[in-house]
Amino acid sequence: MSDSSRPTIEITLLERQYVIACPPDEESKLERAARYLDRAMQGIHAQGKVVDREKVAIMAALNIANELLETQDEQRAHEQSLSELSQRLEKALADAPSR
């Protein structure tokens, strides 16, 4: 498939339009991600400390990566707690007297 025939979608980041190659079945996910990234970039830009678009994008990417890693850590902790509870339940059931 040539580049000219690849499906694309237009997104807006920090008031600038970008055309991104995207399969039709992934458009809603890309639009959602673009909105999330745009909000993150707008927040950084609004603080006025970072003006350069590239630096704003890098700061937003780092913030989002940090959010992702924190969420993954929390998920692992929850999974560990569930595993421990499951093991305790299995042991309690195994130790319970039979009827």
Beta pairing, strands 16-21 & 8-13: antiparallel
pTM of the full structure = 0.77
86's tokens: 């499951």
pLDDT, position 96? 85
The DSSP annotation for 64-98 comes to HHHHHHHHHHHHHHHHHHHHHHHHHHHHHHHHSPP
What does the pLDDT average to over 18-37? 97
For 1-22, write each residue's pLDDT tens digit. Answer: 445 688 999 999 999 999 999 9
Q: What is each CA distance from 85 to 51, 76, 79, 82, 89, in whole angstroms?
A: 49, 14, 10, 5, 6
Go through the domains of the chain in sequence order and give each one's CATH number. 8-95 (3.30.160.880)
For 33-88, write each residue's pLDDT tens digit. Answer: 999 999 999 999 999 888 899 999 999 999 999 999 999 999 999 999 999 999 99
